Amino acid sequence: MNTAENDCCAPRREGNVGAPSAMNTPPEQVKSQVGSTEGMICIKAGSYKVGYQGPEARESDGEGPVRELKLDSYWLDKTAVSNAQFEAFVQATGHITESEKFGWAHVFIGQLPASKQRKLRLTKTVEGLQWWYAIEGAYWRKPEGAGSNIKRRMDHPVVSVSWNDALAYSNWAGKRLPTEAEWEVAARGPDNVSSMYPWGDELEPGGKHRCNVWQGDFPKKNSVADGYEWTAPVTAYRRQAGGFYNLIGNVWEWCSDWFSPSWHCIEDQVTRINPSGPQSGENKVIKGGSFLCHDSYCNRYRLGARTANAPESATTNLGFRCARDA
């Protein structure tokens, strides 16, 4: 997994540079039925198809084949968790994010001031991914490091949070992180569409922007044709069928599953498994693509697309939303 092709979307935190003396991964979450369902949408139990197999598929990511699975009823947040919501969690619990403990997070080069770009060009880059920098002092409240803030982005998705931070938030809210299957079924809408995107096979139907992805020449020039250079508010763009916002584009979203490109059939259900088990150093699934995705480099903003990242990683294009059992 530690390749430029897979890490282009959200680079992994490598090594122990700046790491605290002990990074304890929280225990796996249990089923939750205690959190409020306000701002959530219920998906009814049933059989659904997920996955993608076609000319756009990335076989190494394990997108295909298309398969059918059964899900129990569940709730999913209508939007990604916002900065305002995450701030309420931090104020209530005193939670310190992993980026704060490590002392840095990954930031996309275009989000940095020009002066800082020139200064850092030969240092702190991710090998093979020169558009990502490890920036000291970057965390959810200061996503681009010292001098940045979220005062005008309280309604934007929280970023620079690890899977472990997302899990801590969901536990506090009496919820959990969605499974990959739950996330994808919600994105496919009540009709369980088999198209590339929730609204069809065209990214911009009728020339209308339906999500926040890169326009222009990646990674040098973003034309901002869709209205947002980086993240957009969690309720930006037209709602998808079923009532969800921005399950495609804007920010990648953490799922509960450990990543594996293999599938295993159990009776009449299909469940993603990791043969080696959830060991330290493995990766968690992320879905949906982000504002940095572009067809010329990474088209993982498709419904069936998927990739993964290490649970302790944090970047400026990676957030989450929560689920709850019904």
Q: What residues does 298 pair with on adjacent strands? A: 294
Q: What is the pLDDT of residue 218?
A: 85
Please indicate, yes or no, if residue 260 is contained in any of the structural domains.
yes
Q: Which helix (H) or strand (E) holds 119?
A: helix 114-120
Please indicate, yes or no, if residue 11 is contained in any of the structural domains.
no
pLDDT in tens, 84-116: 999 999 999 999 999 999 999 999 988 887 766
Grade residue 308 by pLDDT with cuts at 50, 70 and 90.
Answer: very high
pLDDT in tens, 130-155: 778 889 999 999 999 999 999 999 99
Question: Is the pLDDT higher at 21 or at 287?
Answer: 287
Q: What is the pLDDT of residue 12?
A: 67
Least confident piece of the model among 106-115, 183-192, 253-262: 106-115
The closest of 210, 88, 101, 230 to 159, measured between CA atoms, is: 230
Question: Is the pLDDT higher at 221 or at 21?
Answer: 221
Q: What is the pLDDT of residue 132?
A: 87
Sheet of 307-309, strands arranged across: 307-309, 284-287, 252-258, 318-319
- Mean pLDDT of all residues belonging to the chain: 84
Question: Is the pLDDT higher at 15 or at 311?
Answer: 311
34-40: Cβ within 8 A, 24+ apart: 34/174, 35/173, 35/174, 35/175, 35/322, 35/324, 36/173, 36/174, 37/75, 37/324, 39/77, 39/78, 39/79, 40/75, 40/76, 40/77, 40/78, 40/322, 40/324
Q: Is the pLDDT of residue 261 over 90?
A: no
Please indicate, yes or no, if residue 22 is contained in any of the structural domains.
no
Please indicate, yes or no, if residue 56 is contained in any of the structural domains.
yes
Grade residue 53 by pLDDT with cuts at 50, 70 and 90.
Answer: confident
Please indicate, yes or no, if residue 293 is contained in any of the structural domains.
yes
Alpha carbons 93 and 34: distance in angstroms, whole number: 18
Residue-number span of the structural domain to which 307 is assigned: 46-325
Structure-token pair, residue 154? 């309280």
Least confident piece of the model among 5-19, 105-119, 207-221: 5-19
Please indicate, yes or no, if residue 34 is contained in any of the structural domains.
no
- Residue 131's alpha-carbon distances to 160, 198, 220, 307, in angstroms, are 16, 29, 9, 19
Alpha carbons 221 and 260: distance in angstroms, whole number: 34
Q: How many domains does the chain have?
A: 1
Least confident piece of the model among 86-95, 256-265, 282-291: 256-265
Q: Is the pLDDT of residue 298 over 80?
A: no
- We report the CATH number of the domain holding residue 305 as 3.90.1580.10
